[in-house]
Amino acid sequence: MSLYAGIDLHSNNSVLAVMDEGGRPVLQCRRPNDLPRILADFEPYRSDLASVAVESTYNWYWLVDGLIDHGYDVRLVHTTAVPQYDGLKHGNDDTDALHLAQLLRLGLLPEGYIYPREQRATRDLLRRRFMLVRQAVQLMLAIQSSFSRSTGKRLSANALRRIAPSDLEALFPDVSTRYGVLLQYKLWLTLQEQITNLEQWVRKDLARPGDLTRLRSVPGIGPILGMTIALETGPIERFASVGDYASYCRMVESVRLSNGKKKGRGNRRSGNRYLCWAYMEAANYATRFNPQIKRWYERKKATKHWVVAIKAVAHKLARACYHLLRDGTEFDPKRAFG
């Protein structure tokens, strides 16, 4: 008799549920987030346990890796795509865990991808860079705003990068304003230094440098965007078609149609937001510096809103990157924008 397990994972505890082939619960319990304790609960059912469904929360690494290391077949749940159950008057963590086991038993569980742990830390490190860059930009905008309020003039980003601390101090006669600006400026310099060090570390630790070389043949994709796309994509073989990859990159419209009429939106959060950001950044650069892509973009913008036009460019770049990663080729602008 096959058994199916579901784990509703929280920040400090997990709710375990085991279900038999007939849909009857065999085990329901709440345990602290302690791997040996969870393994001990599953041990009596180990020989019959077909699979374990683990909710894809922010802290799933330790649990999924630990279960896999001990020989369990683990399925990572695509949380935002899980169909909600109807008809229950009362729902709680126990019913949530049983629901995951039920979907697993019926073969209806939407699954997420378990990224290989060898490159997982490097990918997450590049995501930290994304956060640090946003903080650096916020500090830069705050300095520029203070400068505009005090002088009525505009301080460009390039001018701020060239300015010396002593010159910046002279621009603000008010002592309190000067103190605040210098504090932000020192934090901004520190962030810039750490971002540079982080980029060098990630470039050194990239597993497949050949993929980065191919990605950089695409207009608008430099070393940072190339590393982001390579690490967030992972093995290209996990995508059955170019359409699946474009959808994962959030390049496909989220809409529901019936008889040609719009009936609402689909799951807009489904997909990888970092890949979406990378391809949109690449599209903005490509339309500025590549004449052929710029002409294609201008033709599209003449009939569509410019946001739709730039998203169309990003969509084409994503499809092109799928093919060059899959086939080991380089970018051909005539095939993409001819």
Closest C-alpha to 227, from 271, 275, 192, 286: 275
pLDDT at 75 over 80: yes
Q: CA-to-CA distance for 4 and 19, rounded, in angstroms?
A: 5
Report whether pLDDT(85) > 80. no
d(CA 90, CA 279): 43
pTM: 0.86
**Quick check: helix, strand or coil at residue 187?**
helix
Work out the burial of residue 81: count CB atoms within 10 Å of its CB; fewer than 13 is exposed, 13-18 middle, 19 or more buried. Answer: middle
The two tokens of residue 234 are 């992972």
Mean pLDDT of the 87-96 span = 74
Share of the chain above pLDDT 90, in %: 67
**Residues in Cβ contact with 108 at an 8 Å cutoff, skipping those fewer than 6 apart:** 83
- What's the confidence (pLDDT) of residue 7? 96
**At residue 89, does pLDDT exceed 80?**
no
**DSSP structure string for 63-120:** HHHHHHHTT--EEEE-GGGPPPP-S-S---HHHHHHHHHHHHHHT---B-----HHHH
Phi first, then psi: give them for residue 75, nearest 5 degrees: -120, 120
Q: What span, in angstroms and rounded, lies between the C-alpha atoms of 277 and 314?
A: 10
Q: Write down the pLDDT at residue 207.
A: 66
User: For residues 228 and 277, what is the distance between their CA atoms, to the nearest angstrom?
Assistant: 10
Name the token pair of 154: 């505009």
Give the residue-averaged pLDDT of 50-61.
93
Q: What is the pLDDT of residue 281?
A: 96
Q: Which position has the higher pLDDT, 165 or 277?
A: 277
* Dihedral sign (CA 217, 218, 219, 222): negative
Residue holding tokens 């009857």? 24
Interatomic CA distance for residues 106 and 2, integer angstroms: 12
Q: Pick from 1-5, 167-171, 204-208, 250-254 the range whose average pLDDT is largest.
A: 1-5
Lowest-confidence region among 11-15, 86-90, 269-273, 329-333: 86-90
94-116 pLDDT, tens digit per residue, is 889 999 999 999 999 999 999 99
CA 75 from chain centre, in angstroms, equals: 19
Q: What is the pLDDT of residue 165?
A: 79
Q: Flag whether pLDDT at 277 surpasses 90.
A: yes
Q: Distances in Å between the alpha carbon of 321 and those of 71, 221, 235, 245, 333?
A: 35, 10, 13, 10, 12
Q: How many Cβ atoms from other residues are within 10 Å of residue 281's Cβ?
A: 17
Cβ neighbors of 90 (< 8 A, separation 6 or more) are none
* Tens digits of residue pLDDT in 205-257: 776 777 888 999 999 999 999 999 999 999 999 999 999 999 999 998 776 66
| pLDDT on residue 266 | 60
- Tallying the residues shown for the chain, one arrives at 338
Interval 150-159: pLDDT, tens: 888 888 888 8
Note the pLDDT tens digit of each residue in 278-318. 999 999 999 999 999 999 999 999 999 999 999 999 999 99
What does the pLDDT read at residue 209? Answer: 74
The whole-angstrom separation of Cα 47 and Cα 26 is 14
Residue with tokens 């540079």: 196
Is the predicted pLDDT of residue 136 greater than 90, yes or no?
Answer: yes
Q: pLDDT tier at 267 (50, 70, 90 boundaries)?
A: low
> What confidence score (pLDDT) does residue 297 get?
95
In this prediction, residue 172 has a pLDDT band, given cuts at 50, 70 and 90, of: confident
